[in-house]
Amino acid sequence: MIRDYGIKVGFATANEEWNYPSGYAFATNINSISRQGIDVGIFVEWFDIPFISLLTELQYIQNGTDSRTGVFFRGINFNLVMEDQFYSRNYFSIPLLAKIRWDGTLITPYVLAGARLNVYLNNRGDIYSIPLDGPKDGYVGGTFGIGIETSSMLQIHFGAEFRYNTDFHESDVYLVGGVNNRLLEFLIVLSY
């Protein structure tokens, strides 16, 4: 049974943690600047039972990082210098989240937790013509969040959510090693 459905619109702040394979070293720190991007999606909330429901969603999220500055890689057979480059990726994200709520007369607070499948769409930028496409087959991560929604007699309900997303495993990136994505989301929720 469907409890609710609607749209979520907001912004995301993404960053990446890069892990290098053995045999590689870098001479300067990586300056990874958080990327601010749009975050939009649709959702259906299932099971109209007290306190708990299940959310299925389809989101478009701008992810990745916007800048890396002054990096010098020393590999087994090469040296590579990178300066002031940008790189970012875009994904469709498909979360499956448990929602536990405390029904109130005017406002209902809730918590969210579950898994998500991120499906790679495209990237923007490269580093000296070396493509950093990342995982084109997608990856699985976790989502944890809190939110509030209105409890009113109106046809449309309003709400807000704050979420933290992390990867369950590293994504492979050409010549660099593994990347873990970290993402904070702030969403406005309109439901019917």
Q: Which two tokens stand for residue 171?
A: 């994504």
| DSSP character at residue 21 | P
pLDDT in tens, 128-182: 444 454 555 577 899 999 999 997 667 888 999 999 998 886 665 545 556 677 8
- Distance, CA of 189 to CA of 57 (rounded, Å): 12
Question: What share of the chain has pLDDT > 70, as a percent?
Answer: 64
Domain assignment of residue 60, yes or no: yes
Domain assignment of residue 75, yes or no: no
Number of domains in the chain: 1
Domain assignment of residue 167, yes or no: yes
Domain assignment of residue 78, yes or no: no
pTM metric for this prediction: 0.78
Domain assignment of residue 52, yes or no: yes
Domain assignment of residue 79, yes or no: no
- Distance, CA of 184 to CA of 163 (rounded, Å): 6
* Spatial strand order in the sheet of 25-26: 25-26, 71-74, 79-82
- Distance, CA of 134 to CA of 172 (rounded, Å): 6
| Residue span of the structural domain in which 53 resides | 2-21+34-67+88-191
CATH number, domain with residue 122? 2.40.160.20
| DSSP character at residue 105 | S
Domain assignment of residue 74, yes or no: no
What's the pLDDT score for residue 28?
Answer: 41
